[in-house]
Amino acid sequence: MSARGLLAVNYFSLSQTDAQKALLATTLAGYQRTLEITQNRYTAGIAAKTDVLQAQTQLATAKAEDAGLVRTRAQLEHAIAVLVGDMPAVNGVAPVIEHAAAAGKFEFWPPLEWAAIVTFVAGLLTMGLGSIPQQDVFQRANASKSERIAVWGTVIGGVLYFVFAAVPIYLTYAATLVDPALTASVLAQDAQQVLPAFIKAHLPLYAQIIFYGALLSVIMSTASGTLLAPSVTISENIIKEFMPHHRMSQKKLLWITRSVVVVFTLLVVVYSLWSLQSETSIHTMVANAYKITLACAFVPLVAGLYWKRANNAGAGLSIVLGLTAWIAMEFIAPEAALQPQFVGLLASAAGMIAGSLKPRLFGGRRPLPRHT
């Protein structure tokens, strides 16, 4: 088929897609209204829970169909732009970086406004302090041969994080220049899908296989580390400490570790399903990962390293109070001036001090094990 023929076909397909999308928009509004009515009827005790689930499924199916039409429309727009020679030229890395700089994407510091400054500092402290107890920093430092290697290994690892994280960020921003129509349409639905949609629309099949294969390997590697690291830590440093040493054989410890892995896996699956249902973004889930370590693990780690009076009772109480306060504030006042993770941090510090200075209330003073 000639270029003119392809242009005509794509144009009529685009018109048909727009008509389908307009019709589906009306359908979506109706399904949304039906869901609201059904939920109200269920709250009043008139409708059954199955009616609500059916309405939710109906709406979710329509939303998925709408997302498919959005992607189809973006691909047709891209094809038309190619045929008429209207594709923007992006030659090399420099134009992308220059465009990002002109758009203010490299502005690190927040504007001089109280709300912006508080949000910036809160995010910086959450990610900075919350990442220290996590396995990628803590275990790398503890597995090092010497203090010098521990320091440089952590620094080099942090630099490499920035380097590798810059690659998908660059590709995603480049997509806004190469195919602005596709990017805008996907952003309207889900910003997390920009890079996969761009890869699918512009790269050949073998490159797509490489991309998705690498993505799956990263997900699997992260999942295994996320499950194994805390499971081993809990088994070795918490459960083992409360078990009589003469009854804790290596075989039994291995069985306990496997059981903890299973429990963690179930918890992660439940959280993943809840995140999917509530449409929680990857960014939010990563932020929550830093919040929980900040609220529960940062104080016991620092106190165990630098405070001579820290003990197991203080560490246990610190974890319990930090976790409880953080979760409670997430439900009670998630938008409070003092963010929930910092309330958990303060509660964790209070628990460490109370548990360590009042050992008689918790079964006697038992110092935290110190490894040299």
The whole-number pLDDT of residue 323 equals: 92
- CA distances 114 to 70, 106, 109, Å, are 39, 21, 13
Percentage of residues in the chain having pLDDT higher than 90: 8
The whole-number pLDDT of residue 246 equals: 58
- CA distances 216 to 38, 54, 210, 275, 279, Å, are 39, 32, 10, 19, 21
The answer to whether residue 363 scores a pLDDT higher than 60 is no
Q: What is the CA radius of gyration of the chain?
A: 26
The whole-number pLDDT of residue 369 equals: 53
The whole-number pLDDT of residue 85 equals: 59
Tally of helices (H runs) and strands (E runs) in the chain:
15, 0
The whole-number pLDDT of residue 372 equals: 46
Most confident region among 128-137, 187-196, 261-270 by mean pLDDT: 261-270
Average pLDDT across the chain, whole number: 81
The answer to whether residue 152 scores a pLDDT higher than 70 is yes
Its pTM surpasses 0.85: no
Q: What is the mean pLDDT of residues 177-187?
A: 78
Question: In this structure, which amino acid lies at residue 179?
Answer: D
Question: In this structure, which amino acid lies at residue 160?
Answer: L
**Residue 91 — pLDDT band, cuts 50, 70, 90?**
low
The whole-number pLDDT of residue 141 equals: 73
The whole-number pLDDT of residue 257 equals: 87
Q: What is the mean pLDDT of residues 144-155?
A: 84
The whole-number pLDDT of residue 286 equals: 78
User: For residues 286 and 274, what is the distance between their CA atoms, to the nearest angstrom?
Assistant: 15
The answer to whether residue 138 scores a pLDDT higher than 80 is no
The whole-number pLDDT of residue 275 equals: 80
The whole-number pLDDT of residue 353 equals: 92
The whole-number pLDDT of residue 364 equals: 47
Q: Which two tokens stand for residue 366?
A: 């038992």
The answer to whether residue 362 scores a pLDDT higher than 50 is no
Opening angle at CA 121, ends 119 and 122, nearest 5? 65
List pLDDT tens digits, range 297-348: 899 988 988 888 888 888 889 999 999 999 999 889 888 878 889 999 999 9
Comparison of pLDDT for 345 and 12, the residue scoring more: 345
Lowest mean pLDDT among 92-101, 156-165, 213-222, 331-340: 92-101
User: For residues 265 and 223, what is the distance between their CA atoms, to the nearest angstrom?
Assistant: 9
**Residue 281 — pLDDT band, cuts 50, 70, 90?**
confident
CB contact at 8 A, 260 and 235: yes
User: For residues 44 and 27, what is the distance between their CA atoms, to the nearest angstrom?
Assistant: 26
- CA distances 211 to 35, 160, 217, Å, are 38, 20, 10
Opening angle at CA 94, ends 88 and 97, nearest 5? 90
Q: How many residues does this entry show for the chain? A: 372
The answer to whether residue 127 scores a pLDDT higher than 70 is yes
Most confident region among 22-36, 126-140, 167-181, 241-255 by mean pLDDT: 22-36
Percentage of residues in the chain having pLDDT higher than 70: 88
**Residue 368 — pLDDT band, cuts 50, 70, 90?**
low
The whole-number pLDDT of residue 344 equals: 92
